[in-house]
Amino acid sequence: MQGVLLTLLRRYLRHYRGAMAAVVALQLVQTLATLYLPTLNADIIDHGVVTGDTGYIGRIGAVMVGITFVQIVCAGGAVYFGARSAMALGRDLRRDIFARVQTYSAREMAHFGTPSLITRTTNDVQQVQMLALMTFTMMVSAPIMCVGGILLALNQDVPLSTLLLIIVPLLAVILGLIISRMRPLFRLTQERIDQLNRVLREQITGVRVIRAFVRDRQERQRFAAANTELYEVSLGTGRLMALMFPSVMLVVNVSSVAVLWFGGHRIDSGAMQIGALTAFLTYLTQILMSVMMATFMFMMIPRAEICAERITEVLDTDTSVAPPLNPSNAPVAQGVLEFRGVSFSYPGASQDVLHDISFTALPGQVTAIIGSTGSGKSTLLNLIPRLFDATAGSVLVDGVDVRSLDARVLSDAVGFVPQKPFLFSGTVAFNLRYGKPEATDAELWHALQVAQAQSFVESMPGQLQASVSQGGTSVSGGQRQRLAIARALVRLPRIYVFDDSFSALDYATDSALRAALTAETGDSTLVIVAQRVSTIRHADQIIVLEEGRIIAQGTHDELMASSQAYSEIVLSQLTREEAA
């Protein structure tokens, strides 16, 4: 596990070698200055105070002031460069995690889950960043101070230094036992944070459903349960942390008493001077304080290891929708869409969701897909813009496999309106220009007119500059669908894909929108999934799906005469006279 953490730090800190070298150099000078001060203090006591030489005291005191000034400057510089490097590490990690997540298909997003990805991008990165900051500001100086303190303590009195052979290993064993128990708790803490984020996100996004079903009390209980689980794990970690510092201080204080006891006897026998004992006691404190500073690191390392593993898992997970090695950059001219023997299955699924799907959708025609819930309609449409990739067969646009098309070319060719349209926080104009930033206001109003959204946008304060909340929660479901349709129309793609995008519209608006779409997209390919028969009955071809298979294909009249499954769907919504 430490290998994962070290690999991650080496990978991202190699760009800041100069700043890290400055940190090490400044920390070295600052620590050596700190170690030299007790020796000077011992000289003042032995050669100045004891002998009454005030001139010597003044000269050595001035040297100590100068060394202290150097110590302050170096410590400040080390913190400056260390903080810049650590903050840059966090920035780069968040940037790369975000960039990698942007490449994920819906499959990888479902694997990690939104709450976990949020935690990994924020809390996990923060833990690694804090470890780097503590390393630069404290850990670099700790080994220098420990080794230097031991050498200078030996220089003061070798026999008394034998106490270090007992004190330092004893402290290391105590810390090792405590830290070994902390590591599994840190992993559990990150998992509990994921769970808390998931519950909180569900409650915020589903607040309307919660209130509609009067589930406020149950949801508070569910959040309280997740919060309590995190509290209990954090409390266990806190108990171990609380035990660590008293244990360190106990060793420090007992060691100080032992040094004074044995050192007093050596002074009494004339084998040691008072100044040397004072310096030795200071060096002992510095040695143990360096171990205590390392303790901060040892507390953070287990949690940072877990976080580094979670971050690396995201960075090392490749998307199942891989970009083509030699992409085709030729723009889509016609928009002929063909499914050729397409099958699809989710990872770990026992059977395919789609089985041997083959059909062709031509420009100037409307291809409608209908079927019962769970028949694979949305999955089929998701293959067109490569939200998923087919596990068998090919999806072709103008005879070119979509897996061979450049991502930008495919995006420009396909206007996709998903089953659950999503609007970003900002303005109406910002959302409509999302796929075409250079679109003019005239183009936006034209798209709104076709999408039957012009009237309600004109009534909004600010019109195109009217504010839209995250997810489009500030507008109704039908308005959100029409804005999403307008966003697709602004791009003027060759292929329009509507995944049940008219479900929230009333019949009159649905009819007016379809009529306007037909006039606007006369030479484009339209693929529509709908549950409402009136939306698709006039399509040029209707494909009936059942359990991921095409069981019938044709026009409305042909299918009414030949397909029992289609006629049952139609007659469940219309009378036989209306369906004729």
As a 3-state breakdown, the chain gives helix, strand, coil percent values, each rounded to 5, of: 65, 10, 20
- Compute CA 546 distance to the chain's CA centroid, rounded to the nearest angstrom: 38
CB of 288 closer than 8 Å to CB of 252: yes
Tens-binned pLDDT, residue by residue, of the chain (580 aa): 457 888 888 888 888 888 888 888 888 888 888 877 777 777 777 777 767 777 878 888 888 888 888 888 988 888 888 888 888 888 999 998 888 888 887 777 777 877 788 888 888 888 888 888 888 877 777 777 777 777 777 777 677 777 777 877 887 788 777 777 777 787 788 788 878 888 887 887 777 778 777 778 888 888 888 888 888 888 888 888 777 778 777 887 888 788 778 777 777 777 767 777 777 777 777 777 777 777 667 677 777 888 888 888 888 888 777 777 777 777 777 888 888 888 888 776 677 788 888 888 888 888 888 887 777 888 888 888 888 888 888 888 888 888 888 888 888 888 888 878 777 888 888 888 887 788 888 888 888 888 888 888 888 888 888 888 777 777 777 788 888 888 888 888 888 888 877 777 777 887 788 788 777 777 888 888 877 777 777 888 888 888 888 888 888 888 888 878 878 777 777 666 665 6
381 Cβ partners below 8 Å, 6+ apart?
369, 416, 497, 499, 527, 529
Closest CA to 388 of 362, 367, 357, 363: 357
Per DSSP bridges, beta strands 414-417 and 495-499 are parallel
d(CA 77, CA 75): 5
Beta-carbon count within 10 A of 353 CB = 19
d(CA 179, CA 187): 13
Which secondary structure element, helix H or strand E, spans residue 528, and what is its range?
strand 525-529
- Ramachandran area for residue 96 (φ above 0: left; ψ -120 to 50: alpha; else beta): alpha
Per DSSP bridges, beta strands 525-529 and 400-401 are unpaired
What is the pLDDT at residue 204? Answer: 76
Distances (CA, A) of 335 to 7, 493, 557: 47, 9, 26
Asked whether the CA dihedral 333, 337, 342, 345 is positive or negative, the reply is positive
Closest CA to 526 of 402, 372, 414: 414
Q: Tally the C-alpha atoms within 13 A of residue 561's C-alpha that lie toward its C-beta.
A: 6
- Compute CA 165 distance to the chain's CA centroid, rounded to the nearest angstrom: 46
Q: Which residues pair with 541 in a beta bridge?
A: 367
- Compute CA 383 distance to the chain's CA centroid, rounded to the nearest angstrom: 26
CB of 461 closer than 8 Å to CB of 468: no
Name the residue with tokens 């128990």.
181
CB of 186 closer than 8 Å to CB of 69: no
Rounded to 5 degrees, what are φ and ψ at 215? -110, 20
Interaxial angle between packed helices 274-316 and 141-156, expressed in degrees from 0 to 180 and rounded to the nearest 10: 160
d(CA 468, CA 481): 13
d(CA 320, CA 312): 17
347 Cβ partners below 8 Å, 6+ apart?
107, 111
CB of 137 closer than 8 Å to CB of 94: no
Residue 489 exposed, middle or buried by CB count within 10 Å (0-12, 13-18, 19+) = buried
> Can you list the pairs that 57-66 forms with residues at least 24 positions away whose Cβ atoms lie under 8 Å?
64/37, 64/40
- Compute CA 526 distance to the chain's CA centroid, rounded to the nearest angstrom: 36
Per DSSP bridges, beta strands 392-397 and 337-344 are antiparallel
Closest CA to 83 of 120, 130, 125, 123: 130
Q: What are the tokens at 149?
A: 């303190």
Kindly list the structural domains of the chain, giving each domain's residue range(s) and its CATH number in brackets, ordered by start.
2-316 (1.20.1560.10), 337-579 (3.40.50.300)
414 Cβ partners below 8 Å, 6+ apart?
384, 385, 397, 493, 494, 495, 497
